[in-house]
Every structure is written in C-alpha cells, then in structure tokens.
Amino acid sequence: MPELPEVETMRRGILGAVGGKIVTVEKVRCRKKPIAIRPALSSMRKRIVGQTVLKIDRIGKRVVMEIGRKQATSFLVFEPRMTGLVLVANPPTREHLRFGMTLGHCDVSQIYYWDRRGLGNVRLFDRSGLEEHLGPGKIGPDALKISLEEFSAVLRQPRREVKVALLDQKLIAGIGNLYASEMLHAAKVHPQRECRDLRQRDLKRMYEQMREILQKAIRYEGSTLSDGTYRNSLNQEGGYQNQHQVYDKEGEKCRHCRKALIERITQAQRSTFFCRRCQK
C-alpha cells in the first residue's frame, strides 16, 4: 500500500544513489509476467538509453524520473499501487521483478521495479503526456505542499464523508487508506463527518496532523505491514507501523483515551479504523 511516505522513501533511495551525478541509462529490460509497461520496451529503449537522468521527483504516489537532455526530456513514471517497489538493490524475489535499468557512472548500477501482485505500472511520457495524465486538474496538490487555505478549499465537498474525500487523489495527492485513518484519529475528527459540517478548527487540526503524520512517517521510512510487502529502496522494512494508533487495530483499546475500543467500518469499500470516543 505505498502511500506518500513510502513512495517518498523510494524516491529518496533512488536520489541518494544516483543524485548529483551524471547518470546514463545503459540498458532497459523487462522480465516475464509483463505488467503494464508503456510504451513497449523497444521504443522505451530508443527514447532513454544513452540519455541522462536529470531529476527524481514524486507526483502523489508515483516516482518520476526525468531523463534526457536539455530540450526533449522524457518522464519515466513508476506507479507501485498495492505491492510495487522501486529499488536500487536486493529485490525480494526474482520471480516478481518486472523491470530493470542499468545506469552508468554512479554508485548503483541497477534500478529495479518489483511488484508481487503486478497491479502497478511503469510508463514513459513526454512533457505533454505527463501533463495530460498527471498534471494539475488530473491530480490534486501534494499533501505536503498544499497550504491550509487550499486544503480547506478542496475539501468543500458538501455531502462527502471526510475520509472518502481524503482518499480522492483529484483533491489532494498522496493520502491512502492507512494514513487517512491515522490522521483523522490524530485530528479527532470522525471519518463519517460530512465535509460541509467541518469547522475551520477541524480543518486546521486535520491539516496539521496530516503534515505531522506524513513527515514523521517519512522519517521512519514508511509502514511495513504484516504482509511485509512494502520495503525501502534497499529492501529494508520501514518503521512507522510501530507508531500506528488505529490502523488494523480493531478491538484494541484506543491508545489515546485508553478506554474505548477501536472500531472498523467500511467506507467506499475500504476499511476505516477509528475511536468513537476520541473522534467527533
């Protein structure tokens, strides 16, 4: 379930390994069990082999590598969805390795895309294609770049439940199911509140807790759940799972009030965890 903190950790892993150096793409390859890789490998090779890695970015829950020369640059986008990993070393298994790149002139020589379930994808866009698929309008402002004013404005979604709105990537980019539950608990806001009923003070607490939790989760290098799928770019576990207050803790005593039990409900076909006593 890579969300913003996990994808940011992947981005930093790649950046630390290749950043600041002139990096040339030498080889691009793909292993069995093809996932969505577009365009096909042959044309991807034509466009990026021999080119230079210029920038490593993140758009919401995607890692974006800008590759090329000054003018015509391409954008290689890794979208891990549920079980994808962008690695610089130690892919968990060979079986689910989906895509690899060999780089020259830097400490790491390989970038891997590994994906157990294969729901993710790797795509190459030109500048206008990137704009078309992932530009503003297609995807909201980043959860760590949005201002309080903008945050309050995009959540003017009268009848939508606040938890469902937080998951909508067109409104805010980067929040997924796990961190939505955690930030609402920390902000003491009930996940089923309709957005129109939120007061400015509620929005302010949500905004502050969103930043707090995402930044802290990045420091801990993300959350590795019991299925163990998510790893950082060196295939090591994250640490934020030990900081969770509500996610996947149905029936446990709330760590905040120490009285009520954490409940689990379904919203938009996803589990939400919350404390009825703390969250109003």
Q: Could you say which of 47, 61, 98, 249 is catalytic?
A: 61
Smallest distance, DNA to C-beta of residue 233, A: 18
E-strand ranges in the chain read 24-30, 36-38, 52-59, 62-68, 73-79, 84-87, 97-104, 110-115, 121-126, 263-267, 270-274
Judged by CB, which is closer to DNA: 18, or 172? 172
- Residues between 12 and 41 that touch DNA (CB under 7 A): 33
Question: Which listed residue (1, 23, 65, 254) binds DNA by CB under 7 A?
Answer: 1
**To 5 degrees, how large is the angle CA 155–CA 57–CA 29?**
125
| Interface with DNA, residue 95, by CB under 7 A | yes
Judged by CB, which is closer to DNA: 159, or 199? 159
| Interface with DNA, residue 116, by CB under 7 A | yes
Cβ neighbours of residue 248 under 8 Å, at least 6 residues apart? 225, 226, 271, 273
| Interface with DNA, residue 4, by CB under 7 A | no
Assess whether 270 carries a catalytic annotation: yes
| Interface with DNA, residue 71, by CB under 7 A | no
Rounded CA-CA distance 176/181 in Å is 9
3-state class (DSSP) for residue 39: coil
Q: Could you say which of 31, 211, 255, 270 is catalytic?
A: 270
Phi, psi of 260 (to 5 degrees): -75, 160
| Residues in contact with DNA, shown as a per-residue x/- string from 184 to 203 under the rule CB under 7 A | --------------------
Neighbours of 256 (CB within 10 A): 16
Do the beta carbons of residue 89 and residue 235 sit within 8 Å? yes
Do the beta carbons of residue 101 and residue 63 sit within 8 Å? no
Only one of the segments 99-107, 216-224, 233-241, 267-275 lies at the binding site for DNA (rule: CB under 7 A); that segment is 267-275
| Interface with DNA, residue 252, by CB under 7 A | no
| Interface with DNA, residue 8, by CB under 7 A | no
Task: Note the helical H segments in the chain.
Answer: 4-18, 41-48, 127-134, 148-154, 162-166, 177-186, 200-219
Judged by CB, which is closer to DNA: 52, or 279? 279
| Interface with DNA, residue 110, by CB under 7 A | no
Rounded CA-CA distance 218/188 in Å is 22
Question: Which listed residue (178, 184, 214, 262) binds DNA by CB under 7 A?
Answer: 178
Judged by CB, which is closer to DNA: 60, or 222? 60
Assess whether 3 carries a catalytic annotation: yes
Do the beta carbons of residue 29 and residue 99 sit within 8 Å? yes
| Interface with DNA, residue 118, by CB under 7 A | yes
- Residues near DNA (CB under 7 A): 1, 3, 33, 60-61, 79, 81-82, 95-96, 116-119, 133, 157, 159-161, 164, 167, 169, 176-178, 226-227, 268-271
Catalytic residues: 2-3, 61, 270
